[in-house]
Amino acid sequence: MSERQYLANAIRALSMDAVQKAKSGHPGAPMGMADIAEVLWRDYLKHNPHNPGWADRDRFVLSNGHGSMLIYSLLHLSGYDLSIEDIKQFRQLDSKTPGHPEYGYTPGIETTTGPLGQGLANAVGMALAEKVLAAQFNRDNHEIVDHHTYTFLGDGCLMEGISHEVCSLAGTLGLGKLIAFYDDNGISIDGEVEGWFTDDTAKRFESYGWHVINKVDGHDSAAITRAIDEARANDDKPTLIICKTVIGYGAPNKQGSESCHGAPLGDDEIVAARKQLNWPHQAFEVPADVYQKWSAVDKGAAVESSWNKRWVAYEQEYPQLAKELKRRLNGELPEGFENTVHNYAKQLQSSPEAVATRKASLNVLNEFGPKLPELLGGSADLAGSNLTLWNDAKGITADDASGNYVFYGVREFGMSAIMNGVTLHGGFKAYGATFLMFMEYARNAVRMSALMKQPSIFVYTHDSIGLGEDGPTHQPVEQLANLRQTPNLQCWRPCDQVETAVAWGAAVQSSKTPSALVFSRQGMQQQERNDDQLTNIARGGYVLKDSDGEPDVILIATGSEVDLAVNAFEQLTEEGHKVRVVSMPSTNVFDIQDAEYKESVLPSSVTRRVAVEAGIADFWYKYVGLNGEVVGMTTFGESAPAGDLYKHFGITTENTVAAAKRLLGA
């Protein structure tokens, strides 16, 4: 047995021991990919265990995240702050070693990889971010941004449709510093994949424009080394290295079968595996010489120190560029940006204009964009409808990545997961747009951004039945409720250009919360506000119209329906009723305000409440109570002009007035 095999066996032993102790997990992938990981991590990966966030580190993503003990073993062995006790706590409550790698739990984990294929998509985003950042900041003899993105993936990642979306785009954009290792072991949970996965993967990726290195023996260190050298020498195409491996390698009675995919090996098989692997050590025991040969601490410190010297030279020759790059990598906004948001909103308030909020969004981008060079935007083939292509937007291509806009094509899911990868990489504020209805394609990536606390900005237009003639396939009904009920997500549905500016400002200023900005196709009347109301927009909900004294009934609305509520207010007020209108552009933001403020907007003493929104009605009972009324949708839409649809579904001023009167007993 070679020294390399012996060192790789440390991964196998830790993996099978941790899974066995937890009584759950996936030992097969870590044992099968251990040899590949040993070569990559010990000979190529540029990283510093004592500074996991070093800016110019290589990124490593385990897309087949069920094999999490592979990366936990690698982090532990190479010297990260992940102890053997942490390894023993695999899959236990509050441990640093959860069942799937989770960003923020463990030093060295670059992204959360649970749903298959999304890690690969995140890796594409990281490679894209590296290429764009390098094009924007590198100068002759100063390649201050220069790192690779490596990702491991399995059959499941390639069967998921998102892999097609993102790998197609990666080839088009020429992401040459992206290197993917495909664990071609022929096994998934249900058994041998030849019964349901017979793609010619090599030809598939060649057609994407990737460099493909096929039929690499994943247990031959020399072959793996040659493949990585070849991949790194090719800088104009991403590379797929197809590695033939044996799942569960080293477990003599279970290797090569689904029995070692997603279940512990069992005590007897572990004894047999130790003998097979010539690993005569107790559970969780790693010899000192193995730790010494695995440690990347000294090497990592030296590599970072070398980069720091290059940074000093860069800073001396290009002080303004260095200052700007440092600001962006630190996630800091340009000085005074908060004032920019407030001043622009105030300017809009003093210059009333009735526009669709999607057009108002474009106006905001034209105002904020020149002040935010970190904006990296895009649209899923709907730029002309989403209105995301602002004046200074410059498309990114394989040959020129210095721009700030990605033409994602019809890839909603891929776009959203790539945005998460860009955000995780650092240096950018990523936004991407599609119709609200097509959030459904991307739903899991939106959820992952919230789970990881990454401030990606999801722009959704055509927000309701108000989009009209395209019909129920394109008219969102339940999507707003879905977004609002997602933990750690801020969903905004503004009613006019002023609220749109504030919503964009909140999204850009958010550091740990993704935002969904939901805009209309149809025009919106601008509402009158005083300075206090203007300030309170940022609190998610505020009193827009009010009565003298405590109101008898409160009308709550968002988006285009705010105008219906205001019209109802005027009619009811003329009839002598005391009415309040609350505009609530973001229920999520309103919900986290202090109790005193929420009580000032929705006093508990006023129980007569009506919500009006062209979305699913059930969501609003949390604000109006079981005895309140909701003027909203209870079915899917229809195909007709928007005005006809609002009347057909009863989302009108008249019905809002009628609902209020029923509550008032009038």
Hey, what's the torsion of the CAs at 496, 499, 504, 505, to 10 degrees?
A: 150
DSSP 8-state class, residue 139: B
Q: Is 26 annotated as a binding residue?
A: yes
Q: Is 462 annotated as a binding residue?
A: yes
Residues 6 or more apart whose CB falls under 8 angstroms from that of 621 comprise: 628, 630
Question: Beta-carbon neighbour count of residue 341 at 10 Å?
Answer: 22
CA distance 509 to 512: 10
Instruction: Please tell me the predicted confidence (pLDDT) of residue 570.
Output: 98
Q: Is 541 annotated as a binding residue?
A: no
Q: Where in 541-628 does DSSP place strands (E)? A: 542-545, 553-557, 579-583, 609-616
- For 320-354, the DSSP string reads HHHHHHHHHHTTPPPTTHHHHHHHHHHHHHTS---
CA 564 to chain centre: 35
Q: Which amino acid is at 235?
A: D
Residues 6 or more apart whose CB falls under 8 angstroms from that of 53 comprise: none
Catalytic residue, candidates 160, 374, 412, 629: 412
> pTM for the whole thing?
0.98
Q: Is 470 annotated as a binding residue?
A: yes
Q: Is 261 annotated as a binding residue?
A: yes
Q: Is 156 annotated as a binding residue?
A: yes
CA distance 445 to 165: 13
3-301 CATH: 3.40.50.970
Identify any residues that bridge with 60 across adjacent strands, giving them in sequence order: 150
Residue 353 a catalytic site member: no
The DSSP H or E segment spanning 479 is: helix 479-484
Instruction: Please tell me the predicted confidence (pLDDT) of residue 594.
Output: 98
Q: CA Rg, the chain, in Å?
A: 28
The DSSP H or E segment spanning 504 is: helix 497-509
Half-sphere exposure of 604 (CA within 13 A, CB side): 4
Q: Are 441 and 621 in contact (CB under 8 A)?
A: no
**Residue 249 three-state SS:** coil
Instruction: Please tell me the predicted confidence (pLDDT) of residue 61.
Output: 98
Instruction: Please tell me the predicted confidence (pLDDT) of residue 562.
Output: 98
The DSSP H or E segment spanning 212 is: strand 211-217
Q: Which amino acid is at 363?
A: N
Question: Beta-carbon neighbour count of residue 349 at 10 Å?
Answer: 21
Q: Is 84 annotated as a binding residue?
A: no
DSSP 8-state class, residue 27: -
The DSSP H or E segment spanning 544 is: strand 542-545
Residues 6 or more apart whose CB falls under 8 angstroms from that of 633 comprise: 465, 477, 614, 615, 616, 617, 649, 651
Q: Are 125 and 424 in contact (CB under 8 A)?
A: yes
Q: Of 3.40.50.720, 1.10.260.40, 3.40.50.920, 2.60.40.420, which CATH number belongs to 539-664?
A: 3.40.50.920
Q: Is 187 annotated as a binding residue?
A: yes
**Residue 581 three-state SS:** strand
Identify any residues that bridge with 612 across adjacent strands, giving them in sequence order: 557, 631
Q: Is 65 annotated as a binding residue?
A: no
Q: Is 66 annotated as a binding residue?
A: yes
Helical H segments across 510-586, by residue range: 531-536, 561-574
CA distance 516 to 46: 35
Q: Is 438 annotated as a binding residue?
A: yes
Tell me which residues of the chain have a pLDDT lower than 70: none
**Residue 545 three-state SS:** strand
337-519 CATH: 3.40.50.970
Q: Is 185 annotated as a binding residue?
A: yes
Q: Are 430 and 455 in contact (CB under 8 A)?
A: no
> How big is the CA angle at 156 (ends 272 and 192), to the nearest 5 degrees?
55
Domains 337-519 and 539-664 share a fold: yes
Nearest to residue 263, comparing CAs of 90, 27, 63?
A: 27
Q: 146 vs 57, 59, 233, 430, CA distance in Å? A: 9, 11, 14, 21
**Residue 102 three-state SS:** coil
373: phi then psi, degrees, rounded to nearest 5: -65, -15
Q: Is 76 annotated as a binding residue?
A: no
Q: Give residue limits of the domains in the chain.
A: 3-301, 337-519, 539-664
